């Protein structure tokens, strides 16, 4: 456990030295500042637009961080052969995978936490400048709930990255694969509902299609379930049981991915 912790902190420290991280953070801060201007361009539901912009910025920053900084952090170890110096110590490969994973998660959590703190300041500024009637649906609890859901999405997405990094040593391939999983995960629900409803009505599907879609939906993570930005922007709170089951889903799915990743990584020959 201590070794995993040490490696996680090492990974985190390596991550915060990455200049791309500063670039992403500066961009996100600029976008959050722009929210003040953009929100005021709207006529009625300013609260909704404000929450949309803030949460979308945070999500976007998290995605950039995951896809560009974290994937590099994983690939760099193998590319630059620093993985040997770690693995030559009394580290099992599974511990290596776990340590790396928690390091990446820590990096995402800390960065996004800073952004969410900054965004609360922005929200205070916007809210104080306009009449409260434009913000009657706004709720802090909903805002932070959507943020927590977003974090759980990154818990899962970073496990996807670890999984693909264990298969391939090319960071480019990891990027392509995990991006595909992200896009698929965001739209799989839509596709499934299309095949279950409209495709049947218009008779444009075959039993093979139905079969594939039916089972494929469990292979890919349903990432759209983590997107409750729309509900947060309208002040709709998600129930505790729903929240817990989603958090459980994220943790179990990530654990499975990490399990497979360590299986593969244990078998892999590092040249």
Partner 1 sequence: MKAGKSLLVFIFLLGVFVFFSGSLEKKRERLLMSNFVEYTIPSKLIVPASLEFKGLSSDFLLFKFMTYIGGKVAQKSNISDEQWTSLVSTLETITDLDPYFWDAYLFSEMFLAWGAGRIKEANQLLLKGTRYLPENYRLFYYLGFNYYYFLKDNKSASRYFMEAAKLPGCSSYVARLAARLSVYSFQHRDGIVFLQDMLKNTKDKSVRDQFEMRILTLEKMEFLEKKIDKYERIYRTYPNSLNDLVVSGLIDKIPEDPYGGKFMIMQNGRVYTTSNMLTKTE
Q: Measured in whole angstroms, how far is the alpha carbon of residue 252 from the centre of its chain?
A: 15
In the bound state with partner 1, the residue whose beta carbon lies nearer, of 119 and 166, is 119
At its nearest, how many Å lie between partner 1 and the CB of residue 251? Answer: 20
Q: DSSP H helical segments within 168-206, as ranges?
A: 171-196, 198-201
Q: Find out whether 109 and 151 touch, Cβ atoms under 8 Å.
A: yes
At its nearest, how many Å lie between partner 1 and the CB of residue 235? Answer: 10
3-state helix, strand, coil in the chain (%, to 5): 85, 0, 15
In the bound state with partner 1, the residue whose beta carbon lies nearer, of 51 and 123, is 51
At its nearest, how many Å lie between partner 1 and the CB of residue 169? Answer: 28
Q: Find out whether 226 and 246 touch, Cβ atoms under 8 Å.
A: yes
At its nearest, how many Å lie between partner 1 and the CB of residue 30? Answer: 16
In the bound state with partner 1, the residue whose beta carbon lies nearer, of 233 and 250, is 233
In the bound state with partner 1, the residue whose beta carbon lies nearer, of 7 and 24, is 24
Which positions touch partner 1 (CB under 8 A)? 41-46, 48-49, 51-53, 55-56, 59-60, 130, 133-134, 182-183, 186-187, 190-191, 223-224, 226-227, 229-230, 233-234, 236
CA-only gyration radius of the chain, Å: 21
Total residue length of the chain: 271
Q: Residue 90, SS3?
A: coil
């Amino acid at each position: 456990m201590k070794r995993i912790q040490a490696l996680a902190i090492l990974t985190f420290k390596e991550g915060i030295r990455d200049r791309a991280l500063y670039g992403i953070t500066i961009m996100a801060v600029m976008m959050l500042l722009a929210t003040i201007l953009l929100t005021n361009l709207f006529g009625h539901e300013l609260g909704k637009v404000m929450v949309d912009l803030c949460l979308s910025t945070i999500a976007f920053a998290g995605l950039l961080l995951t896809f560009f900084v974290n994937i590099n952090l994983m690939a760099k170890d193998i590319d630059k052969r620093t993985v040997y110096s770690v693995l030559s110590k009394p580290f099992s490969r599974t511990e290596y995978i776990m340590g790396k994973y928690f390091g990446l998660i820590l990096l995402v959590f800390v960065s996004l936490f800073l952004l969410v703190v900054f965004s609360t300041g922005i929200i205070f500024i916007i809210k104080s400048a306009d009449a409260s009637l434009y913000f009657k649906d706004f709720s802090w609890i909903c805002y932070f709930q959507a943020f927590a859901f977003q974090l759980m999405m990154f818990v899962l997405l970073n496990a996807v990255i670890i999984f693909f990094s264990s298969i391939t040593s090319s960071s480019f391939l990891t990027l392509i694969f995990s991006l595909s999983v992200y896009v698929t995960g965001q739209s799989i629900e839509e596709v499934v509902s299309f095949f279950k409803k409209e495709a049947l009505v218009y008779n444009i599907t075959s039993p093979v299609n139905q079969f594939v879609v039916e089972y494929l939906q469990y292979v890919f993570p349903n990432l759209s379930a983590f997107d409750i930005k729309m509900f947060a922007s309208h002040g709709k709170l998600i129930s505790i049981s729903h929240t817990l089951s989603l958090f459980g889903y994220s943790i179990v799915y990530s654990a499975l991915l990490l399990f497979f990743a360590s299986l593969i990584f244990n078998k892999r020959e590092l040249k």
